[in-house]
Structure 1
Amino acid sequence: MDGILLVAYGTPKDLDDVERYYTEILRGARPSAAQLEKLKKRYAAIGGSSPLLDITNSQAKKLQNLIDNKMEKAKVYFGMKYSEPHIIDAIKKAKEDSISRLFCIPVAPFYSYIGQGSYFDRVKAAAKECGYSGEIKFVNSWHDEMGLADAWAEKLKEIEIDKSWTMLFTAHSLPLSDADDLSVYRRELIYASNSVEKRFGCKWSLSFQSAADVPGKWIGPDAAWQINGLAKNGVKKLVIIPIGFVSDNLETMYDAGIEYVGLCKDLGIEVKMPKMPNDADGIITALYSAYVKAAKK
C-alpha cells in the first residue's frame, strides 16, 4: 500500500511556544531576548500563531477524501519539520500501517535544495531512526500542476482585478550558495507566475521576501525594494501575490499582508492581496496529480 507524506515547515502553537520553536530551528541555540521580542510581536500581530498546522491537516484530510473517492489504495499523512506532529511521527505511523511505498510531497511547490532538499534529508534520517524499511520516493516540485494556477486564479477573481492592475508575485528569499544558485527555484516561480498572470493580462514582476537578517547573499530582488521602484515608475494599483507559498503563515500574513500592504499605502498605491489557496480544490487536485505522476515512475 502507498503512503503520501505531506511535509511543511511548522509553526509555534502560541506566543509561549515561540521560544521553543525557534530554538529547535536554531538547533538548540536560543534566540536572543531582542530576537524573541521581535518574533513575538510579529506573531501577536497575526493573532498569536499562524494557522499552518490546521491548514496542512485539512489538506491531508481532503487529499485522503479525493483518493478514497477515486477508489485508490493510499493513505495520507502529514508531518512538520519544526513542530508537532514531527516528520518522524508520521513515518512511525506509516511503518505501523505497513506502508510499502511512501511518497514525500512538500506543501511548498518549488524546488530548492535548502527547501525541498532539507525536507528530504529529514525524511531519510527519520526513516532510518525509526526503522522504516519501505521505499521512499520524493516529489521535487509540483509548480507546473494546473491545479496550482487554478487555485490562485480563483482567489484573484474574488478580489476583482482587471488589466489596470500590476501584479507583484513574491516568494521566500533563500541564501545563494555554490551548492545551489537557485536558478531552478527562480525558473519554476517564473513559470507558475506566468501561468497565473496570463489569465488576467496584467503587467507583472517577481520579487522575494522575508530574507533572514544574517550575513550572506540572498536571492532577489527584495519585495520592499521592488514596491518602492514600482511606485517611482508610476504604478498606482498593485496586487501582491505570495506565489511561493500555498498556505497562510507568518510570512504571508505579516510580511506580505501587513508590512508590504502597509508600504504600498504609505506610497499612495492602491493595493489588494488575495486570500491564500490553503486547502482549495485546485491545491488538492495538484497534490493528487503530483502523487499519481510519481507513482507511475
Structure 2
Amino acid sequence: MTAYDGILLASFGGPEGQDDVIPFLRNVTRGRGIPEDRLEEVATHYRAFGGVSPINSQNRALKSALEAELARRGIDLPVYWGNRNWAPFLPEALADAAAAGDTRLLAVTTSAYSSYSSCRQYREDLFAAVAESGLADTLQIDKVRQYFDHPGFVAPFIEGVSGGLAAAKDNGIAPEDTHVLFSTHSIPMTDAARSGPPERGLGPGGAYEAQHRAVAEVIMAAQPMQGAGWSLVFQSRSGPPSMPWLEPDINDSIGELAAAGTKAVIIVPLGFVSDHMEVQWDLDTEAMATAAEHNLFAVRVPTPGVHADFVSGLIDLVIERLDDVPDADRPALTALGPWYDVCRPGCCGNVRLGFKPALAGIAP
C-alpha cells in the first residue's frame, strides 16, 4: 500500500493553433529522421481543423471529471496533467506537484493497451521528466495497470456499438448485413511482437493485438442485437513501405466488405481513449469518405472521453493501488487481465531505440 499524494494524468498532447503544428510534429518525430516535407504532409490533417487537435481539450475535460469523481467519493487527491509532446509538458506538471509538496504520484496514462508507444514510452517519459526536473531524489511515481479490459473502459464501447447496430437497423439494414470494424493505430510488426512480457507467448502481434481482439470479442458478445460480423483493422500507418506494420488497413477492409455485399459498417475507435487527430482525420474524414464512396451506411462510435463509466473506472484503478487490492478482486473482462501494476522485464521493447531507463517497471 502507498499513501499517494496526487494523481498524474499523462497524455500525448496536441497543437492548439496553426503555429503549433510543425513544432508539435517535430516533437513527436524527434530522433526518427523524418523529413520536413513528410511533416508538412501530416500537418495538412491538423490544418484542416484550424491547427487544433481535440486531445488537449479532451484532457482538460477528463482532468475536471476525475477531480469531480474524486470529490464525490471523498478522496482528497489533486490531479496534475502533463503531456509527452506539447504543453503542458510532463516536467512542468512534476514541478507543480513538487512545489505543492506532493512527492508520491500515481500516473494514469491516456492509453489502455500494451506496446512501446502506449506503455513503455510513457514510463521512459516519466523517467526523463523526473531527471529533467532535477527531482529524481524527491519524487516517487508509480503507474496504474493497463486497463484495456477494465469494465469502465469497455462499457462505453459496448454502448456505442449497440447504438451503431440500432442505427443501421433503423435504416433498414439487418445485423447480418452489417460489419463492425474495431480500429486501432497500426504499429510496426517488430514492436507488436515485443508488446507485453515475452513469456506470455501471445503470437506475432504480441499483447497489443491480442488485447484488442479479446476486448472486441467481449464487446460483440455483450450486444443485445446479434448477427453482425466483426474484424480488427488498423489505421494511421506512418512507416516506410519496406517495414511491415499491422494490417489490414481500415480503408482496404471497407472496400473488400462492400465488394462482398456488406451494406453497413460500424467504425469503433477501440484503440483510443479520446478523440485524437487520428480519430478526427483517419476515421471521421478518410474512413467515412471511403464508406460513402462504396455506398455503405456508416456510423463512428464515440471514444470513452468523459463517459461516466470510464471516469469512474479510472478512479477505481487508483483505489486498487491505494488499498492494495489483490488481483483476484480486480475486475477484468478478458482472460488476459488484470494486467500488471509493475511492467515485466523485457516488456514492450523497441527494436530501433533499445531499452532506455523507465519508471514503474522491472529493469530489462
TM-score surpassing 0.5?
yes
1:20 aligns with 2:17: no
Distance in 1 (alpha carbons) for counterparts of 2:33 and 2:22? 7
1:235 aligns with 2:262: yes
1:70 aligned partner: 73
| Worse overlay, 284-293 or 190-199 | 190-199
Distance in 2 (alpha carbons) for counterparts of 1:99 and 1:191? 37
**CA offsets, 1:73-121, max 9 Å, x none?**
3221111110000111111122122224211121111111232100111
What's the CA shift for 1:45?
2.6
2:329 aligned partner: none
What's the CA shift for 1:184?
0.8
Any residues of structure 2 matched to 1:1-297 within 5 Å, and which?
Answer: 1-27=4-30, 32=35, 34-130=37-133, 131-132=135-136, 133-159=138-164, 160-161=166-167, 163-164=175-176, 165-177=178-190, 179-180=194-195, 182-200=205-223, 201=226, 202-214=228-240, 215-297=242-324
Provide structure 2 residue ranges, at least 5 long, that are not aligned to the other structure.
170-174, 196-203, 325-364
Larger radius of gyration: 2
What's the CA shift for 1:148?
1.5
Contact preservation (8 Å) 1:108, 1:245:
yes
What is the SS of the residue equivalent to 1:206?
strand
What's the CA shift for 1:229?
2.2
Distance in 2 (alpha carbons) for counterparts of 1:239 and 1:145? 22
Contact preservation (8 Å) 2:182, 2:231:
yes
Distance in 2 (alpha carbons) for counterparts of 1:89 and 1:288? 23
What's the CA shift for 1:13?
1.5
Distance in 2 (alpha carbons) for counterparts of 1:97 and 1:204? 49
Contact preservation (8 Å) 2:18, 2:50:
no
Q: Pick closer, same or farther for the CA change 1:113–1:31 going to 2, 3 Å.
A: closer
Contact preservation (8 Å) 1:22, 1:30:
no
What's the CA shift for 1:26?
2.5
| Worse overlay, 159-168 or 78-87 | 159-168
Contact preservation (8 Å) 1:111, 1:140:
no
What's the CA shift for 1:29?
7.8
Distance in 2 (alpha carbons) for counterparts of 1:222 and 1:54? 28
Contact preservation (8 Å) 2:19, 2:51:
no
What's the CA shift for 1:48?
2.9
Distance in 2 (alpha carbons) for counterparts of 1:175 and 1:139? 25
**CA offsets, 1:181-238, max 9 Å, x none?**
5411112112222222223233211111101133422122222222222223221111
What's the CA shift for 1:30?
8.4
What is the SS of the residue equivalent to 1:74?
coil
Distance in 2 (alpha carbons) for counterparts of 1:138 and 1:72? 18
Contact preservation (8 Å) 1:237, 1:270:
yes
What's the CA shift for 1:281?
0.9
Contact preservation (8 Å) 1:22, 1:31:
no
What is the SS of the residue equivalent to 1:262?
helix
2:359 aligned partner: none
What is the SS of the residue equivalent to 2:265?
strand
Distance in 1 (alpha carbons) for counterparts of 2:217 and 2:68? 30
| TM superposition score normalised by structure 2 | 0.76
Identity of aligned residues (%): 24
Total equivalences in the alignment: 297
The amino acid of 1:92's aligned partner reads: A
The amino acid of 2:115's aligned partner reads: S
2:358 aligned partner: none
